[in-house]
């Protein structure tokens, strides 16, 4: 079974690698050979993208050492911060972490993972072996999901949507606790059961990473279904958060209990409540719905409609927070992607940490995947979920962009 940990395991070395977008391999070689040119490049990059560097970089540094990465026959330089004495390796984005490959050589192969292409198929088409591709893809999940995705603390979404996806790990049922904001995965954690402590630990990974970016961060609202353990977990993590109840879940429960003309008649009235523009209007429509239901409905349909009306106060809370999600559609759309990929993988395998890295890798790949040509054509300027959230990209290629955004493992040091 998976282990519920509030502190993710992060390799020490990954946190001390600064990944930058050099113009080309030739440009990189020239910088390595000429310290003056290298320093000019680092200064320019720091002025443009300070979030990719450690906090004390501005106080000064010195070139510390160099070494040859044998796998890619590449010289890497280290710098030492004057303020702290910490040493960081500068890595170009055209090389994968730990020098396992040139980025452009594996980018298209890893891209196919977004559509659930199996590792066996990747081996058949591109060579190597299963472990090579699986380890490379899973290693993406070692980065901070929030830190790599959100590059400005001010852009941390104040209004979130959360839900759990049921899946299987080694044949046993587990939950993928998923947090979504601004169209991106911001948290995915594995919970071994539906208890509040298990879900609190799983959702707690998001809190830890978000507060590493902004120590004072707390979401204004979180939209969830009515599952008690989910709501208690979020209340424990952020005591001041407003928990908004998903209206769609109530509608779906009503829909399951009626058929034909009656279904349309009932759902039209239920959605009429949802379309209310003000709290007062919603309350009036909800009361009228309850009165109508008592006169014209019976059995399970009546019971569920009255239950929806009984949650009036929970639904009204959304009107106090303009812009907050009133349904969990935002997380459902992304969990559909999760579901397709997990099914293609025949669900999760291996030990808990391997499974945890897998769900994080698929989340991070979604955040950086390029939109289709049709979307880009019909919506000029839209490139990827990451670009939508941050307003820019570091690089035109999705994998280069991901590696650069995950400089220092996505952490702020």
3 state DSSP class of 251 = helix
Q: What is the pLDDT of residue 12?
A: 53
Between 317 and 412, whose confidence is greater? 317
For residue 241, what pLDDT band results from cuts at 50, 70 and 90? very high
What pLDDT score does 4 carry?
Answer: 46
Q: What is the pLDDT of residues 31-71, one digit of tens each?
A: 999 999 999 999 999 999 999 999 999 999 999 999 999 99
Q: Mark 296-318 as b/e (b = at least 16 C-beta within 10 Å).
A: ebeeebbebbeebbeebebbbbb
| pLDDT tens track for 98-127 | 999 999 999 999 999 999 999 999 999 999
This model's pTM is above 0.85: yes
Cβ–Cβ < 8 Å for 305, 231: no
Question: Exposed, middle or buried: residue 193 (CB in 10 Å: 0-12, 13-18, 19+)?
Answer: middle
Residue 5 is classified by DSSP as -
Q: 132-141 burial, b for 16+ CB within 10 Å, e for fewer?
A: bbbebbbbbb
As a whole-number percent, the residues of the chain with pLDDT over 90 amount to 94
pLDDT in tens, 328-367: 999 999 999 999 999 999 999 887 789 999 999 999 999 9
Top pLDDT among 6 and 298 is at 298
Question: Where do the domains of the chain lie?
Answer: 12-100+400-410, 106-217+229-237+328-399, 247-326
pLDDT in tens, 192-240: 999 999 999 999 999 999 999 999 999 999 999 999 999 999 999 999 9
- What is the rounded average pLDDT of the residues 15-32? 96
DSSP bridge partners of 329: none
State pLDDT tens for residues 157-173. Answer: 999 999 999 999 988 99
List 188's β-bridge partners, or say none: 178
Mean pLDDT rounded to a whole number for the chain: 94
Residue 297: its pLDDT value, please? 93
The answer to whether the CB of 198 falls within 8 A of the CB of 1 is no
Q: What is the mean pLDDT of residues 8-17?
A: 65
Which pLDDT band, with edges at 50, 70 and 90, does 13 fall under?
Answer: low
Is residue 200 exposed (0-12), middle (13-18) or buried (19+ Cβ within 10 Å)?
buried
**pLDDT for the residue 9:** 46
Q: Could you give the residue ranges of the DSSP H alpha helices within 127-276? A: 130-139, 145-149, 196-213, 228-237, 247-255, 260-274
Task: Give CA separation, 211 vs 206, 218, 219, 240, in Å.
Answer: 8, 8, 11, 15
pLDDT at residue 74 tops 70: yes
- How far the first Cα of the chain sits from its last, in Å, is 33
């Amino acid at each position: 079974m998976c282990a519920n940990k509030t502190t993710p395991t992060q390799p020490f070395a990954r946190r001390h690698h600064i990944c930058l977008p050099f113009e080309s391999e030739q440009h990189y070689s020239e910088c390595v050979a000429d310290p003056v040119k290298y320093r000019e490049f680092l200064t320019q990059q720091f002025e443009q993208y300070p979030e990719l560097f450690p906090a004390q970089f501005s106080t000064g540094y010195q070139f510390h050492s160099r070494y040859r990465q044998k796998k890619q026959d590449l010289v890497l330089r280290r710098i030492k911060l004057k303020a702290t004495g910490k040493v960081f390796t500068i890595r170009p984005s055209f090389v994968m972490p730990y020098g396992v490959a040139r980025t452009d050589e594996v980018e298209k192969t890893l891209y196919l993972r977004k559509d659930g292409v199996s590792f066996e198929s990747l081996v058949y088409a591109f060579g190597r072996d299963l472990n090579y591709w699986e380890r490379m893809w899973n290693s993406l999940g070692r980065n901070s999901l929030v830190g790599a995705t959100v590059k400005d603390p001010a852009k941390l979404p104040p209004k979130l949507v959360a839900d759990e996806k049921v899946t299987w790990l080694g044949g046993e049922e587990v939950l993928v606790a998923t947090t979504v904001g601004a169209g991106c995965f911001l948290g995915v954690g594995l919970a071994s059961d539906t208890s509040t402590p298990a879900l609190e630990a799983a959702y707690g990974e998001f809190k830890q990473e978000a507060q590493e970016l902004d120590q004072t961060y707390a979401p204004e609202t979180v939209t969830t279904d009515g599952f008690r353990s989910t709501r208690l977990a979020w209340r424990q993590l952020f005591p001041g958060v407003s928990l908004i109840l998903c209206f769609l879940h109530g509608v779906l429960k009503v829909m399951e209990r009626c058929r034909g003309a009656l279904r349309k008649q009932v759902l039209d009235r239920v959605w009429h409540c949802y379309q209310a523009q003000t709290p007062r209007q919603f309350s009036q429509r909800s009361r009228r719905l309850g009165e109508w239901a008592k006169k014209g409905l019976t059995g399970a349909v009546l019971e569920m409609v009255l239950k929806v009306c009984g949650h009036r106060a929970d639904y009204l809370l959304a009107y106090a927070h303009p812009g907050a999600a009133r349904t969990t559609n935002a997380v459902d759309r992304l969990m559909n992607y999760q579901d397709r990929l997990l099914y293609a993988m025949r669900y999760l395998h291996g030990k808990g940490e391997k499974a945890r890295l897998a769900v994080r890798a698929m989340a991070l790949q979604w955040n950086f995947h390029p939109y289709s040509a049709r979307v880009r054509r019909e919506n000029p300027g839209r490139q990827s979920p990451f670009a939508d959230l941050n307003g820019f990209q570091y690089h035109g290629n999705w994998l280069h962009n991901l590696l650069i955004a995950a400089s220092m493992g996505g952490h702020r040091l």
